[in-house]
Amino acid sequence: MLRDLSHPIRDGMMVYPGDPSVSVRPALSLETDGVEVAHIDMGSHTGTHVDAPAHTVTGGRTMASVSLDELVGEGVVLRVSGASPGSAYGLGELTLDGGAVPDELPRIVIVDTGWAQWFGSERALRHPFMSAPAAKELWARGMRVLAVDTLSPDETGGSAFPVHEVVLGGDGLIVENVRGLEGLPGRVEVGFFPLRLEGDGAPVRGVAFTGD
């Protein structure tokens, strides 16, 4: 079985504050043109998407250098216990199947704060965010792709991006606005399949291969 981990892209959908708005409108129609075609305007970080290092790192690699292999494989789903609006969480608040985060992690780490349910609302802007020490420790344990169910692993509206600095600064990748994590096992095969854009990021179709 496959589980979709992506938000649908819709006209007027939520974007990170300051990002380009999303417009999906008719371009051609069956009645007048014989075909339906939509005209789509959006930023490269729309909906569920991947950040390449070039997003925040001068001279960082772009999506042109990101292989699909980096975004497909075994992942762990770490849950945040007691997540509250606008609060930082550290390693001590992260659990894997109810226990502590293991010393060795696979390349892909997914963080479930439960905040995906608020995507599209004002509450989504006040999401929990990861502390820099937690990001550094996850990186030291093997993480190279960090996926979160929030607008950012950093505080939205803040003036600094310390988690981005850790992950993208280490030539890793960040996937934001993941959804559908409820009930997934702690270890699961996942894939994040980006549009073949060659810039600083790209929308992705996220998939969990649940096997049931």
Average pLDDT on 167-194 reads 98
Question: Tokens representing 38?
Answer: 């939509």
What is the total count of domains within the chain? 1
Residue type present at position 186: G
**What CATH number corresponds to the domain at position 195?**
3.50.30.50
Q: Percent of the chain scored above 70 by pLDDT?
A: 100
Rounded-to-integer distance, Cα 147 and Cα 208, Å:
13
Per DSSP, helices labelled H in the chain are 30-33, 132-140, 162-167
pTM above 0.95, yes or no: yes
Which residues are paired to 111 by β-bridges?
A: 78, 148
Per DSSP, helices labelled H in 141-205 are 162-167
Q: Which of 104, 122, 123 is nearest to 114 (CA)?
A: 123
**What is the widest separation between alpha-carbon atoms in the chain?**
61
Does a structural domain hold residue 24?
Answer: no
Higher pLDDT, 205 or 157: 205
Does a structural domain hold residue 187?
Answer: yes
Does a structural domain hold residue 15?
Answer: no
Note the Cα 209 to chain centre separation in Å. 17
Does a structural domain hold residue 82?
Answer: yes
**pLDDT for the residue 174:** 99
Does a structural domain hold residue 12?
Answer: no
Rounded-to-integer distance, Cα 150 and Cα 148, Å:
5
List Cβ neighbours of 163 (8 Å cut-off, separation of 6 or more): 129, 130, 132, 135, 146, 152, 153, 154, 174
Q: Write the pLDDT tens digit of every residue in 34-60.
A: 999 999 999 999 999 999 999 999 999
Q: Is residue 145 over pLDDT 70?
A: yes
Does a structural domain hold residue 99?
Answer: yes
Q: Is residue 159 over pLDDT 90?
A: no
- Chain-wide mean pLDDT for the chain? 97
**pLDDT for the residue 75:** 98
Q: Which of 23, 75, 16, 94 is nearest to 49 (CA)?
A: 16
Kind and range of the H or E run holding 93: none
Does a structural domain hold residue 107?
Answer: yes
* Residue-number span of the structural domain to which 97 is assigned: 2-7+44-209
Q: Write the pLDDT tens digit of every residue in 120-144.
A: 999 999 999 999 999 999 999 999 9
Q: Write the pLDDT tens digit of every residue in 88-125.
A: 999 999 999 999 999 999 999 999 999 999 999 999 99
Does a structural domain hold residue 38?
Answer: no
Higher pLDDT, 212 or 11: 11
**In this structure, are residues 162 and 174 in contact, taking their beta carbons and an 8 Å threshold?**
no
Q: Is residue 14 over pLDDT 70?
A: yes
